[in-house]
Amino acid sequence: MTATTDGSTGATLPPRAASASETDITTPAAAGVQEAAGRAVRRATDFLLARQDAQGWWKGDLETNVTMDAEDLLLRQFLGIRDEATTRAAALFIRGEQRPDGPWATFYGGPGELSATIEAYVALRLAGDAPDAPHMAKASTWIRERGGIAAARVFTRIWLALFGWWKWEDLPELPPELIYFPSWMPLNIYDFGCWARQTIVPLTVVSAKRPVRPAPFPLDELHTDPADPNPARPLAPVTSWDGAFQRLDKALHQLRKVAPRRLRRAAMNSAARWIVERQENDGCWGGIQPPAVYSVIALHLLGYDLEHPVMREGLASLDRFAVWREDGARMIEACQSPVWDTCLATIALVDAGLPADHPQLVKAADWMLGEEIVRPGDWAVKRPGLPPGGWAFEFHNDNYPDIDDTAEVALALRRVGHHDPERVDRAIGRAVRWNLGMQSRNGAWGAFDVDNTSPFPNRLPFCDFGEVIDPPSADVTAHVVEMLAAEGLAHDPRTRRGIEWLLAEQEPDGSWFGRWGVNYVYGTGSVVPALTAAGLPGSHPAVRRAVAWLESVQNDDGGWGEDLRSYKYVKEWSGRGASTASQTAWALMALLAAGEKDSKAVERGVRWLAETQCEDGSWDEPYFTGTGFPWDFSINYHLYRQVFPLTALGRYLHGDPFDRLLAAGGRPLSEAKGS
């Protein structure tokens, strides 16, 4: 078989594996595969246990792209607190991420991306890199060839406007009066996903204030025509949604000139209160870096000095997103994932055979129980009568627990032989009640909110980067269904509605779209175990179609992989990419749940995991297999390469984890009602 090329990017597609009909699938598992899997599990277990924090949690690095590092430097420049040591370390990391042809990508092996390249270039200029240095000249040439600053996304041009490198008048308007829109009104702040909401509210203040700090240098080299740096963009037809919203934006620019000043000041003050009320105990906002950055800027513009407790703690929280590397480079995480990593590690270790009452598992359970969120957050706007009970992704994010983490934490806690089972039961009961209460009208679940499906936010000229709404997804819905089945609720009408939605969402080829992981391999690896846990047999047509699809996209080396380009070029890249440990594990978890343990595909996948494991029990995985916004914002979760292979290998060796818990004498998941 020969590799093919995706002409749009020049990236090489791996050859497809031979179909099931082309291979001998009747051959029993080769001798030694079980032994190899057992050795891999023992080493991976030791590796993971050695990396648990003394408090009980696990957290791997969360790697994204250099815009985090560039914007951190730009923030410090704007506030007047940029120092040489931080700048030098950030620049070292940014330079190391540049592609040989000049630009920066947003994921490993990906194509150059214009906005990321502009922000990285400006950050290096701040660090003292000369525009005529070879690496800088390459970057600026690449930028100009693709339209220059004028072609960048809105968020990049906002950063440039803060220093006068772009005109505020040429940016979409975002009025602070938006804060007054009632929740039933289109384009109110709760129509946006929680991550967008937390960013947009402070940006309404920034948009209203239009601050400009003196630029430390010009950026003429990044314009296609320095004499006309802000060319007008063509309007879409007035009969189209895009055209309508472009004209709405023009009207808002005119409204700005006549808006009552008292109303605008009041709106900005209301926005400030909204921001301050949502600051977490650790000083951050929502546990993610972008809203924290914009919140600090907005409050500073409204008169909060840098020594104000809100500002001081906010800036301190941003320092905690920094990962210092051995070479002195400094990488900024967009977010931190301790709850997610800890529940996944707990599941992996128990499924791999670690005793359920192992002290480190009990410590992990204690930590997770202490992280439960028992007060209402923004989700209560749509569900005001629903009692709280869930978990967030991060260390501190009480305003935004998420449905996905809550389901996986419940699955993890139910596996642990805890010394206080009643406490565990109560926490899981609250989680089940909250997740059921967060079910959307169509029977599925989103990540943070209920029915967050308005078609309007994505149409705004301001929202030209990534997802800004939070509709239900197959992967989150699958995790909830799996949790409900584990709690004895497989036949509950609400669970059945979720199952029906999942079956309707299956792609014609047998796969499922993955919203929060890459991509169809992740979606399928999430849905099939959920369906079988809820009672669908391995012979069900939907399960058989999923198995056939997974077999058809298995790589020749035995592993599975999927490149992020599948979000943009579905036909060419669905289920295609270099084999990775995490994606191979997802495929194996689906195949094992479907009853395919003795299949040739499973044997080859297990062998690939065993043979690619490092001596210390880890796996290498430079590829990004996590998703923030499909295609636009990608994540390399550094612990994915550990927890998912260990889970898959453990299930290969020990079978269904529910049955194993029962055989071990622990409380079986099937008896827990959680209501």
- What domains lie within the chain, and their CATH numbers? 32-60+337-455+473-671 (1.50.10.20), 65-229+246-331 (1.50.10.20)
Extract the tokens encoding 340. Answer: 């997610």
Tokens 């700090």 sit on residue: 213
Residue 388 contacts by C-beta under 8 Å, 6 or more apart in sequence? 373, 374, 375, 376, 377, 380, 401, 430, 434
Extract the tokens encoding 25. Answer: 């699938």
The answer to which of 19-33, 53-67, 221-235, 343-357 has the lowest mean pLDDT is 19-33
pLDDT (tens digit per residue) in 358-390: 999 999 999 999 999 999 999 999 999 999 999
Angle (CA) 175 177 182, round 5°: 130
Local confidence band at 18 (pLDDT 50, 70, 90 cut-offs): very low
d(CA 244, CA 236): 8
Residue 250: predicted pLDDT: 77
Over residues 149-172, the mean pLDDT reads 95
Tokens 């079988």 sit on residue: 532
Residue 671: predicted pLDDT: 44
| Under 8 Å between Cβ of 661 and 415 | yes
For residue 122, give the nearest of 83, 101, 148 by alpha carbon: 148
Residue 258: predicted pLDDT: 81
Residue 255: predicted pLDDT: 78
pLDDT (tens digit per residue) in 605-644: 999 999 999 999 999 999 999 999 999 999 999 999 999 9
Helix axes 309-319, 289-301, angle to 10 degrees: 150
Residue 613 burial (10 A CB sphere; 0-12, 13-18, 19+): buried
Over residues 89-113, the mean pLDDT reads 97
d(CA 543, CA 536): 8
Extract the tokens encoding 598. Answer: 């003795």
pLDDT at 674 over 70: no
Which residue type occupies 35?
Answer: E
Residue 496 contacts by C-beta under 8 Å, 6 or more apart in sequence? none
For residue 105, give the nearest of 61, 65, 144 by alpha carbon: 65
Q: Which long-range contacts (CB under 8 A, 24 or more apart) does 222-229 make?
A: 222/118, 222/121, 222/140, 222/143, 222/144, 222/148, 222/149, 223/144, 223/148, 223/149, 223/150, 224/144, 224/147, 224/148, 224/150, 229/148, 229/149, 229/150, 229/166
Q: How many CB atoms lie within 10 A of CB 110?
A: 21
Residue 29 contacts by C-beta under 8 Å, 6 or more apart in sequence? 598, 602, 603
| Under 8 Å between Cβ of 601 and 591 | yes
Extract the tokens encoding 364. Answer: 């992990």
Catalytic, out of 404, 405, 475, 632: 404
d(CA 57, CA 301): 37
Read off the DSSP letter of residue 560: -
Per the prediction, the chain carries an average pLDDT of 91
pLDDT (tens digit per residue) in 66-100: 999 999 999 999 999 999 999 999 999 999 999 99
Residue 19: predicted pLDDT: 41
pLDDT at 233 over 90: no
Start-end of H helices in 102-153? 114-126, 134-145
Which residue type occupies 446?
Answer: G
d(CA 353, CA 650): 7
Residue 13: predicted pLDDT: 55
Which residue type occupies 150?
Answer: A
Q: Is the overall model pTM greater than 0.85, yes or no?
A: yes
Active site residue 404: yes
Residue 597: predicted pLDDT: 96
* Burial call 575-597: b when 16+ CB within 10 Å, e when fewer: bbbbbbbbbbbbbbbbbbbbebb
Three-class secondary structure of residue 267 per DSSP: helix
d(CA 539, CA 284): 48
Extract the tokens encoding 535. Answer: 């009672």
| Under 8 Å between Cβ of 193 and 465 | no
Which residue type occupies 267?
Answer: A
d(CA 4, CA 637): 28
Over residues 122-145, the mean pLDDT reads 98
Main-chain phi, psi angles of 30, to 5 degrees? -60, 145
Which residue type occupies 72?
Answer: D
Over residues 394-420, the mean pLDDT reads 96
d(CA 223, CA 145): 10
Cα–Cα distances in angstroms (integers) from residue 43 to residues 58, 202, 345, 612, 646, in the given order: 17, 47, 14, 13, 10
pLDDT at 654 over 70: yes
pLDDT at 2 over 50: no
d(CA 439, CA 422): 26
Q: Which of the pair, 436 or 459, is modelled with greater confidence?
A: 436
Residue 608: predicted pLDDT: 98
Residue 273 contacts by C-beta under 8 Å, 6 or more apart in sequence? none
Local confidence band at 225 (pLDDT 50, 70, 90 cut-offs): confident
pLDDT at 11 over 70: no
Over residues 318-346, the mean pLDDT reads 96
d(CA 606, CA 225): 56
pLDDT at 151 over 70: yes
Q: How many CB atoms lie within 10 A of CB 386?
A: 16
Residue 663: predicted pLDDT: 53
Main-chain phi, psi angles of 633, to 5 degrees? -145, 110
